[in-house]
């Protein structure tokens, strides 16, 4: 997990997480946030990844055969599972999601973070982008509270609403006025005008752009 906003999201909900905890994709690549340090109240912690390295207690492929995974984890079940910036790198995300669900205790919490609009980043590969509807399809046995569903922007400490716009930055005065931001609408209109005149012609014809962003969600297993 290498994003400050993901850590802030977890810390804001720290009292709701209990052990034992499983961190999926726990390898520290050098800029990774230390999730264990963010939740010092959980002392029973297991970090797993497909590659050995700092922060990895066990090398395992959680998208593999559950009959192999389960004994490798001593048939443990977890009160909290953290899967942040992992599923986009998994070629079989439904298999991994099903195995994660099996590893959760009844009532256990999953904290999941997935990219919605983000640059290509292979570790080693990059396959998927997700909406909040897609995450619910991956984890049909979990209940996700809309209150805990947020869109984290690329800017530190800036979170965006999860609505029909979902990270959309329109070049339209009317769109911003309906959102209650007429000054932003005026700036967007001016930018669109410049695009028509020439200096920003490369923007002409685009009605909106998507802000770089990740979805962050929490779900409880039924």
Lowest mean pLDDT among 20-34, 100-114, 199-213: 199-213
Task: Name the phi and psi angles at 111, rounded to 5.
Answer: -110, 115
- What DSSP line would sit under 152-217, residue for residue? EESSTT-EE--SSSTTEEES-HHHHHHHT-HHHHHHHHHHHHHHHHSTTGGGTT--EEE--EEEEE
| Rounded CA separation 200/209 (Å) | 14
| Rounded CA separation 182/204 (Å) | 21
* Residue 91, CA distances (Å) to 60, 72, 97, 124, 126 in order: 15, 21, 12, 11, 8
Confidence grade of residue 204 (pLDDT, cut at 50, 70, 90): low
| Rounded CA separation 205/43 (Å) | 54
| Rounded CA separation 210/153 (Å) | 10
| Rounded CA separation 185/182 (Å) | 5
Using CB atoms within 10 A of its CB, is residue 205 exposed (0-12), middle (13-18) or buried (19+)? exposed
Using CB atoms within 10 A of its CB, is residue 211 exposed (0-12), middle (13-18) or buried (19+)? middle
Residue 43: DSSP 8-state:
-
At 73 the pLDDT is 97
At 133 the pLDDT is 97
For residue range 114-125, what is the model confidence (pLDDT) as tens digits? Answer: 999 999 988 789
| Rounded CA separation 91/26 (Å) | 18
| Rounded CA separation 180/169 (Å) | 14
Confidence grade of residue 74 (pLDDT, cut at 50, 70, 90): very high
Cross-strand bridge partners of residue 24: 48, 83
| Rounded CA separation 193/165 (Å) | 23
Confidence grade of residue 103 (pLDDT, cut at 50, 70, 90): very high
pLDDT mean across residues, the chain? 92
Torsion sign across C-alpha atoms 98, 103, 108, 114: negative
């Amino acid at each position: 997990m290498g994003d400050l906003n993901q850590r802030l999201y977890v810390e804001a909900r720290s009292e709701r997480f209990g052990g034992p905890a499983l961190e999926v994709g726990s390898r520290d690549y050098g800029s990774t946030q230390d999730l264990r340090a963010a939740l010092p109240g959980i002392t029973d912690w297991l970090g797993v990844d497909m590659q050995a390295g700092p922060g990895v207690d066990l090398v395992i492929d959680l998208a593999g055969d559950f009959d192999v995974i389960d004994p490798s984890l001593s048939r443990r079940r977890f009160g909290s599972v953290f899967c942040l910036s992992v599923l986009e790198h998994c070629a079989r995300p439904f298999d991994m999601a099903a195995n994660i669900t099996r590893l959760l205790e009844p009532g256990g919490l999953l904290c999941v973070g997935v990219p919605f609009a983000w640059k290509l980043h292979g570790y080693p590969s990059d396959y998927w982008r997700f909406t909040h509807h897609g995450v619910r399809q991956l984890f049909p046995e979990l209940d996700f509270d809309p209150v805990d569903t947020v869109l984290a922007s690329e800017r530190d400490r800036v979170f965006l609403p999860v609505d029909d716009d979902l990270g959309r930055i329109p070049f339209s005065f009317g769109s911003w006025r309906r959102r209650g931001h007429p000054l932003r609408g005026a700036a967007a209109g001016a930018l669109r005008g410049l695009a028509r005149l020439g200096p920003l012609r490369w923007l002409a014809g685009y009605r909106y752009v998507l802000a770089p962003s990740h979805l962050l969600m929490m779900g409880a297993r039924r």
